[in-house]
A and B are shown apart, each in its own frame.
Chain A
Amino acid sequence: GENVEQHPSTLSVQEGDSAVIKCTYSDSASNYFPWYKQELGKGPQLIIDIRSNVGEKKDQRIAVTLNKTAKHFSLHITETQPEDSAVYFCAARTGTASKLTFGTGTRLQVTL
């Protein structure tokens, strides 16, 4: 089955700096890669996703890049703000199945 690895497990950046979180996946048939943000005491919420026919996608301060050859994808957050502090999860989906395989999460802390 699919295996998703995520790094780093914790990340601390100063407000205004950029943050990058990286994930690798094992199944070359995976075709959908969402990123979720989880705030304390809440369920994860989708923030951006990318499909395998696209190399990069941007939404305001967040962007995701996908390298299918290397089987890795990354989340980039620019101009970080304190409200970006949360746990971020990457995930991968194979084929048309609805099941997602999640990474182990990255705790991002944005300091003033």
Chain B
Amino acid sequence: NAGVTQTPKFQVLKTGQSMTLQCAQDMNHNSMYWYRQDPGMGLRLIYYSASEGTTDKGEVPNGYNVSRLNKREFSLRLESAAPSQTSVYFCASIGVGDRGLYEQYFGPGTRLTVT
């Protein structure tokens, strides 16, 4: 049981380049999330998917798109990267895990730098 996995771990992009951050969970959770984490600002929700086939905007969706490919996978795409998108990105899913608790499980993060 790997939990929530994210690829890549690190990425450097030039302004205007595009890329897709991948996320997968093996806990059979319905809901998945993408957050960005910036110093002094905590975690801010970009997009979320309450269930397979649905996606909704969070607090900071501009400049991003998402795809809920299936129940396991939820990807985040930057079509034209900007320096303001330099951040650490976390994917999460929510549901009951090994501890029997209903909680949000986070992946290890992707550190993205846009130059």
List residues of B (76-115) whose CB comes within 8 Å of A's CBs.
90, 92, 94, 101, 103-104, 106-109
Q: Is B61 interfacial (CB 8 A cutoff)?
A: no
A43 in complex: contacting residue of B31, B44, B107, CB < 8 Å: B107
B41 interfacial contact with A, CB 8 Å: yes
Q: Cα distance A6–B59 when bound, in Å? A: 18
Give the CA-CA distance A89 to B41 in the complex, in Å.
Answer: 11
B90 touching A46 by the CB < 8 A rule?
A: no
Contact call A43/B109, Cβ cutoff below 8 A? yes
In the assembled complex, the CB of B15 is this many whole angstroms from the nearest CB of chain A, namely 26
Binds B, one of A11-19, A62-70, A72-80, A95-103: A95-103
Q: Count residues of chain A with CB under 8 A from any CB of chain B.
A: 20
Q: Return A52 CB to nearest CB of chain B, in Å.
A: 15
Majority-rule SS of B interface residues: strand
B69 adjacent to chain A (CB < 8 Å)? no
Q: Is the interface of A mostly helix, strand, loop or mixed?
A: loop
Residue of A nearest to B99 (CB): A46
* Chain B residue nearest to A97 in the complex (CB): B50
Nearest CB of A to B26, in Å: 15
Q: Is B74 an interface residue (CB 8 A)?
A: no
Known A98-B50, A98-B94, A99-B48: A46·B104 in contact at CB below 8 Å: yes
Bound complex: CA A30 to CA B69 (Å)? 31
* A87 shortest CB reach to chain B, Å: 10
Subset of 19 A-B contacts with CB under 8 Å: A1-B59, A41-B108, A41-B109, A42-B108, A43-B4, A43-B90, A44-B106, A46-B101, A46-B103, A49-B103, A98-B48, A98-B94, A99-B33, A100-B104, A102-B42, A102-B44, A104-B40, A104-B42, A105-B40
Known: A34-B103, A103-B42; 5 extra A-B contacts, CB below 8 A, are: A1-B59, A46-B104, A49-B101, A98-B50, A98-B94
